[in-house]
A and B are shown apart, each in its own frame.
Chain A
Amino acid sequence: MRDARVALAAGLVLSAIAVAIVLAHSPVVLTGTNGIEPLPTPLTSVDGGASGCQANEVLPARSSAIRLSLGASAGPRVAVTVLSGKTVITHGEGVRGWLGYVVTIPIKPLNHAVSDTTVCFAFTGAHERVLLMGVRTPTRIAATSGAGTLPGRIAIEYLRRGSSSWWSLALSTSRRLGLGRAWAGTWIVLLVAALMATGVALASWLVIRASR
């Protein structure tokens, strides 16, 4: 019984500390895009081992990740290389087995923006074809894959950690959570907190009671 109480108290205190630490971090923010909306509009599909490049991109300063609009159900590992001319200025590799219509690849951030870059991507290890999402463009500005030209350009977003912590964004986040629903209002956040607090309190009581 005492062991259970100690374990529960220690567990909940550690959880609270973990939540506080996580909320002290900053959210990921957009530093730039290539102007193409990342809607799930397939441009074409390529082989799971394909590679390609897209020129005329601008890499914003301090970008720590690149988000490509690709579609797969068990996506391949995606490696991204950003070149200025023929010089590699940054590089990164994502995880395998991703699902959905976007994949985010962490890259080494640069302190300055670089214009007129080429973003190259290479897939390894998928048996399914990968959808490339974007818009149709004239051939001269379209992305390329292998020896051929793709029918358009892929949507690309550049990301980095923001400067504000989640704590400082708590109020605006709460206000937003209260919108776009029935019975709108910031009070919904308090309701959710109360529901979870009640659930955790009941579970704590129950698990202590069960250990008697």
Chain B
Amino acid sequence: MSKRKHPRQQASTGPQRKGVRSSTRRTGRTAERESGMPVAQRWDRTASWGRVISGLRSVPSRLRRVPMAAWLCALVACLNAISWSFITPPFQIPDEPAHFAYVEQLARTGHLPSSSTQEFAPDELVALEDLEAPRVAFQPEHRTIASRAQQRKLEADVASAVETSMPGSGAAGVAASQPPLYYALEAIPYDLGSGGGVLDQLALMRLVSALWAGVTALFVFLFLREALPGTPRAWTVGGLGVAFLPALASISGAVNPESMLCAVSAAIFYCFARAFRRGLTPRLAMVIGALTAVGFLTKLNFLGLAAGVVLGLVVLARRASQTLGRRTAFRALASGLVIAASPVCVYIFVNLLSHHRALGIGSSIAGLTADHRSIVGGLSYIWQLYLPRLPGMHIDFADTSPIRDLWFNGLVGDYGFEDTYFPRWVDNVALIPAIGILALCGREVFVRRSALRRRVSEFGVYFVMAAGLMTLIGVSSYLSFPSEAAGFPEPRYLLPLIPLFGAVLALATRGAGRRWGTTVGVLIVVLFIDHDLFSQLQVIARYYG
């Protein structure tokens, strides 16, 4: 291995050694030198929309500066998700019929769904019936259709449904309460495939969804480049690990807003890593605000990340006040927060103006959450959902270890309608590399503890983002407890934290040291390739075997 330093590595050495605060100061002064005017004055100009538009014009040149390795990680993630989109039978991912119905409703009528029932449009119902979707979903012995005659009937019925196209039913099942951005984007492939019927539309929509896997891998790579600037190979290992993660590929190969939420979340993590390393600029504050707004418009689960985003902006603005000046930093913070909150405010305002409930169909969910339950009991439950039970806590998971049985085993393999998983011995064997990766990651954290201490506020922000999302999932599960022990224990709900997963892989690569780091990095990538291949084989065996 060559000992040449990567340019990025050289550039990063200063801030790493001097700590983040000195790096921000330096960045501020450098910015002043480059622009020839005080940063505070520059803010007044950059704050104008003209500047924003010119910033958008510079996007192509910025894209050209993205390393080829990042693009290739994105490409691999896309190819993998597309592959999953082909092997997963239509409507055999949880809630896909509901997400499809949402897009159909939006594309056909221009209105949001008004009902959370399962009474979907006739063309979708015809396809679901001909595909025997409910039986395939809930009976592991029942495979997908197997004869040419069934295929011909399916094609004929779908074609006839195209001719007698009817407006959407207004129902979108469990998806009805979700915000509309992802579905609005999916309306484009829906319209493009409208001549071919439901199956063509679904296939095209899945391909668009697969692109989000690429965006996720791209931003995870860039996040690692900013957060762990010392070892370029670690960025590649983290990026490829994410690109081959079957949980991400499976959900991105289907129609599900989770795919876009992962991409938005990864972009926000990247922006924070960049801001903590180089200092918050007004433009970056606005970008974080805009991404947060996109997150709010993508999926309700984004609420879990919101507290961390706000905290991050406040911390960064406080630090930036030393370089940009208090007033400018405050304006950067305010602009970020206003942009972030704008979709929620507009949504509430429009609903109130049209005499609907403030949160629209989401109000019914808010009503559900107004259940009188013990806060201490809830905290104890959420703790036990992720961590070992402490003495004195009520036993909420008897003889079950949620971290092992629900989260770890679920991440190892849990596809389709939770009936496609590996034999238990595979979960046990998977513990070996998992413990190895965590041990190497822990070693790296221990060795670099003094450097990490200087970045405690940055890690605090990531921690609050993670804790917020985990708490949201925990609260949702607690609301259905004890009739269901864990209503939302699926690892896919944690996928917005995927940049941190990539960071664990990257840290493990670094933790193996100079001598073994390369080999360990390669083996981690091979491990994830294998995980992905065997997961695909498992799904193929379940549905087509």
**Chain A residues packing against B (C-beta within 8 Å):** 1, 3-4, 7-8, 11-12, 15, 18-19, 22-23, 27, 30, 37-40, 48, 67, 72-74, 76-77, 95-97, 99-102, 124-129, 157, 166, 169, 173-177, 179-184, 188, 191-192, 195-196, 198-200, 202-203, 206-212
* Whole-angstrom distance between the Cβ of B481 and the nearest chain A Cβ: 8
The answer on a CB contact under 8 Å between B533 and A15 is yes
The answer on a CB contact under 8 Å between A202 and B395 is no
| Binary contact track B144-186/A, C-beta < 8 Å → 1, others 0 | 1111101100110000000000000000000000000000000
Residue B83 interfacial (CB < 8 Å)? yes
Question: What are 16 pairs between A and B in contact, CB < 8 Å?
Answer: A8-B522, A11-B522, A11-B527, A15-B530, A30-B141, A96-B399, A99-B418, A102-B140, A124-B399, A125-B400, A173-B545, A174-B544, A203-B76, A206-B69, A210-B69, A210-B233
* Whole-angstrom distance between the Cβ of A49 and the nearest chain B Cβ: 9
* Whole-angstrom distance between the Cβ of B505 and the nearest chain A Cβ: 12
CB-CB under 8 A from A1, the residues of chain B are 1-2, 518
Bound-state CA distance A166–B541 (Å) is 9
Bound-state CA distance A190–B86 (Å) is 11
| Binary contact track B234-259/A, C-beta < 8 Å → 1, others 0 | 01110010011000000000000000
Would A100 and B76 be within 8 Å (CB), given that A126-B399, A176-B144, A182-B196 are in contact?
Answer: no
The answer on a CB contact under 8 Å between A97 and B144 is no
CB-CB under 8 A from A100, the residues of chain B are 417-419
The answer on a CB contact under 8 Å between A211 and B398 is no
Other 20 A-B pairs with CB < 8 A, given A99-B490, A127-B398: A4-B518, A11-B526, A27-B545, A77-B399, A97-B404, A97-B406, A101-B417, A128-B484, A173-B545, A180-B151, A181-B86, A182-B199, A182-B200, A195-B86, A196-B83, A196-B536, A199-B76, A199-B243, A206-B69, A207-B521
> Interface residues of A: mostly helix, strand, loop or mixed?
mixed
CB-CB under 8 A from B89, the residues of chain A are 180-181
Of all chain A residues, which has the CB nearest B541?
A27
CB-CB under 8 A from A212, the residues of chain B are 1-2
* Whole-angstrom distance between the Cβ of A93 and the nearest chain B Cβ: 11
Would A22 and B536 be within 8 Å (CB), given that A74-B402, A74-B489, A188-B86 are in contact?
Answer: no
The answer on a CB contact under 8 Å between B236 and A210 is yes
Number of residues of chain B lying within 8 A (CB) of chain A: 92
* Whole-angstrom distance between the Cβ of A126 and the nearest chain B Cβ: 6
The answer on a CB contact under 8 Å between A97 and B400 is yes
The answer on a CB contact under 8 Å between A206 and B73 is yes
Of all chain B residues, which has the CB nearest A97?
B405
In the complex, the 6 A-B pairs of residues with the closest C-beta atoms, listed nearest first? A125-B399, A97-B405, A11-B526, A100-B418, A128-B485, A210-B236
Bound-state CA distance A86–B154 (Å) is 50
The answer on a CB contact under 8 Å between B90 and A127 is no
Residue B99 interfacial (CB < 8 Å)? no
The answer on a CB contact under 8 Å between B138 and A39 is yes
CB-CB under 8 A from A182, the residues of chain B are 193, 196, 199-200, 202-203
The answer on a CB contact under 8 Å between A99 and B406 is yes
The answer on a CB contact under 8 Å between B419 and A101 is yes
Bound-state CA distance A67–B155 (Å) is 34
The answer on a CB contact under 8 Å between A125 and B398 is yes
Of all chain A residues, which has the CB nearest B131?
A180
CB-CB under 8 A from B522, the residues of chain A are 4, 7-8, 11, 207-208, 211
Residue B319 interfacial (CB < 8 Å)? no
Bound-state CA distance A169–B243 (Å) is 30
The answer on a CB contact under 8 Å between A96 and B545 is no
* Whole-angstrom distance between the Cβ of A196 and the nearest chain B Cβ: 5
Would A95 and B424 be within 8 Å (CB), given that A4-B522, A100-B417 are in contact?
Answer: yes
CB-CB under 8 A from A176, the residues of chain B are 143-146, 544
The answer on a CB contact under 8 Å between B529 and A15 is yes
Bound-state CA distance A74–B385 (Å) is 11
CB-CB under 8 A from B235, the residues of chain A are 210
Of all chain A residues, which has the CB nearest B199?
A182
CB-CB under 8 A from A199, the residues of chain B are 76, 79-80, 83, 243-244
The answer on a CB contact under 8 Å between A202 and B397 is no
Of all chain A residues, which has the CB nearest B147?
A179
The answer on a CB contact under 8 Å between B523 and A7 is yes
CB-CB under 8 A from B1, the residues of chain A are 1, 3-4, 211-212
Residue B487 interfacial (CB < 8 Å)? yes
Bound-state CA distance A74–B521 (Å) is 35
Residue B483 interfacial (CB < 8 Å)? yes
CB-CB under 8 A from A37, the residues of chain B are 135, 139
The answer on a CB contact under 8 Å between B536 and A207 is no
CB-CB under 8 A from B518, the residues of chain A are 1, 3-4, 7, 211
* Whole-angstrom distance between the Cβ of A185 and the nearest chain B Cβ: 10
Residue B507 interfacial (CB < 8 Å)? no
CB-CB under 8 A from A27, the residues of chain B are 541, 545
Bound-state CA distance A124–B202 (Å) is 42
Bound-state CA distance A208–B193 (Å) is 40
The answer on a CB contact under 8 Å between A3 and B138 is no
| Binary contact track B257-301/A, C-beta < 8 Å → 1, others 0 | 000000000000000000000000000000000000000000000
| Binary contact track B510-536/A, C-beta < 8 Å → 1, others 0 | 000000001101110111011001101
Question: Among the listed B139, B154, B526, which residue makes an inter-chain contact with A38, where contact means beta carbons less than 8 Å apart?
Answer: B139
Of all chain A residues, which has the CB nearest B481?
A128
Residue B116 interfacial (CB < 8 Å)? no
The answer on a CB contact under 8 Å between B237 and A19 is no
The answer on a CB contact under 8 Å between A127 and B424 is no
CB-CB under 8 A from A4, the residues of chain B are 1, 518-519, 521-522
Bound-state CA distance A188–B199 (Å) is 15
CB-CB under 8 A from B146, the residues of chain A are 175-176, 179
Of all chain A residues, which has the CB nearest B516?
A3
Question: Among the listed B83, B418, B419, which residue makes an inter-chain contact with A192, where contact means beta carbons less than 8 Å apart?
Answer: B83
Of all chain B residues, which has the CB nearest A99?
B418
Of all chain B residues, which has the CB nearest A33?
B141
* Whole-angstrom distance between the Cβ of B91 and the nearest chain A Cβ: 10
Question: Among the listed A38, A73, A125, which residue makes an inter-chain contact with B484, where contact means beta carbons less than 8 Å apart?
Answer: A73
| Binary contact track B466-502/A, C-beta < 8 Å → 1, others 0 | 0000000000000001111111011000000000000
The answer on a CB contact under 8 Å between A74 and B485 is yes
Would A96 and B521 be within 8 Å (CB), given that A74-B405, A177-B540 are in contact?
Answer: no
Of all chain A residues, which has the CB nearest B401?
A97
Would A127 and B144 be within 8 Å (CB), given that A176-B544, A195-B82, A196-B79 are in contact?
Answer: no
CB-CB under 8 A from B545, the residues of chain A are 27, 166, 169, 173
Bound-state CA distance A23–B33 (Å) is 64
The answer on a CB contact under 8 Å between B533 and A19 is yes
The answer on a CB contact under 8 Å between B90 and A181 is yes
The answer on a CB contact under 8 Å between B487 and A202 is no
* Whole-angstrom distance between the Cβ of A47 and the nearest chain B Cβ: 11
The answer on a CB contact under 8 Å between B237 and A207 is yes
